[in-house]
A = this chain, B = another copy of it.
């Protein structure tokens, strides 16, 4: 293990250069124009896995973007860990808010990252975090320190809801067979407070369309007599939440597994500085459901957020159009045991029921994912805890993360194994936003922690077998 850590320590600068190569490929999965880039990014991952010492590495075509798989199996008696991550990234707009071009990564120092951070789309989510695994693995292979059998599955559709990975898992069950899945696509509370994500919210994502007249009209000639689809869309959206920020869709909360008193106490014990939170976001007040704390609102409560809205004239100046159509993208974060499709149906039913007769409405289900809870009394969770304690010098806390990784629930259903969400990002990394970055501290700390994880995991598994 000492040699493994030294191997990593000796190569830190070259590693950033290597990662930047990958970050330069604009692998935006949601934009059809980037189809070719998806293959480039997948091929890059394949080459990187081969360089690191993986075997049987292939780029597998799917009906969508390809999946990269590789492995290093040394002993059937050792436990097998499947490392999952993704090489696709979020779109980059609004482009003008980026201080540097999103696909030309640069290292810059910040208040939180005095030792520097890599700025670029995907630096944290998730190329940077996947790359930690490649390099930790490389260090272990190079020093012949292989306490587990390794499998890697790096996909290209996580940011669009992994629409084809479930099928890929079904079709490759034997190849993907594992004892546990390790995922670094989440974060820690801060660089001095490590944490492990023990739950993820689910997601139900819909797009709505409101149509007034069959064509754009002059707002002078028709305004006041023909429904304006933007005004109506605003009315409908406004009716989705009451004054307590409780979502008004009938049946929305019916299946919510309410958190118990003990769990809520635990959540609220996690270190959280409200004033600091508000100041970093430059907001006067936080927002949210009455009766719940910020940590509860993002961890254990479902939400309804508009992710986009558009309609009418949006250029410079004034155009007096009464548009024919208005659109919005609406996502609902879900908690156990809400079901994405069922929630989308409840949304649609309610949206249609409150739409007035002078407009037509349409609702499209774009994608979704089930919420996930990972138990914290398993060897895999304990191994993550011990590894982080080893490198951070402090025992990590368990957190419920607000985001969603829809595929985690699918893994459990199809492959039958649990995942551990040991990520190293920070909330302030601006993933999905302009100026996404990933601290060098976090990148290196991740690489250092991962070999310990495998060490402790194999030890705990062995002692469980022997006890």
Contacts and interface: CB of A to CB of B under 8 A. Distances in A.
Interface in A277-330: 281-289, 294, 297-298, 301-323, 326-329
B307 A214 contact: no
Given A220-B403, A433-B217, A160 B318 contact: yes
Interface stretch (A37-45, A46-54, A108-116, A229-237): A229-237
B329 A318 contact: yes
Contact of A225 (B217, B235, B297): B297
Interface string A163-188: 00000000000000000000000010
A233 B234 contact: yes
Nearest to A327: B314
Contacts of A161: 318
Given A218-B431, A234-B234, A366 B225 contact: no
Nearest to A287: B227
Given A294-B225, A331-B318, A305 B231 contact: yes
A430 B235 contact: no
Interface residues of A, number: 99
Given A286-B225, A287-B358, A309-B230, A218 B403 contact: yes
A216 interface: yes
A308 to B, nearest CB: 4
Contacts of A402: 220-225
Interface stretch (A3-11, A90-98, A261-269): A90-98
A435 interface: yes
Interface in A188-220: 201, 203, 205, 212-220
Interface string A215-259: 111111111111110110111011101000000000000000000
A155 interface: no
Among A94, A212, A320: residue with most chain B CB under 10 A: A320
Contact of A30 (B239, B309, B316): B316
B288 A225 contact: yes
Contacts of A234: 233-235, 237-238, 306, 309
Contacts of A239: 238
Contacts of A226: 281, 283, 286-287
A237 B227 contact: no
Nearest to A333: B223
Contact of A305 (B159, B223, B287, B366): B223
A308 B303 contact: no
B224 A303 contact: yes
B307 A312 contact: yes
A333 B224 contact: yes
Contacts of A159: 319
Contact of A228 (B305, B318, B356, B357): B305
A202 to B, nearest CB: 10
A404 B318 CA distance: 13
A434 interface: yes
A283 B357 CA distance: 9
A213 B282 contact: yes
A464 interface: no
A281 B48 CA distance: 59
Given A234-B237, A289-B224, A333-B224, A310 B307 contact: no
B308 A220 contact: no
A427 interface: yes
A32 interface: yes
A70 to B, nearest CB: 28
A448 interface: no
Contact of A241 (B221, B231, B308): B231
Nearest to A224: B303
A31 interface: yes
B435 A283 contact: no
A320 B369 CA distance: 13
Interface in A406-451: 427, 430-435
Given A221-B401, A310-B314, A318-B366, 17 more contacts: A160-B317, A161-B318, A212-B283, A213-B283, A214-B282, A219-B305, A220-B402, A220-B404, A230-B307, A231-B237, A231-B306, A234-B306, A286-B358, A307-B322, A308-B313, A309-B311, A318-B331
13 contacts: A93-B313, A214-B281, A218-B432, A222-B402, A223-B305, A223-B331, A227-B283, A230-B237, A234-B238, A235-B238, A284-B357, A285-B356, A308-B319
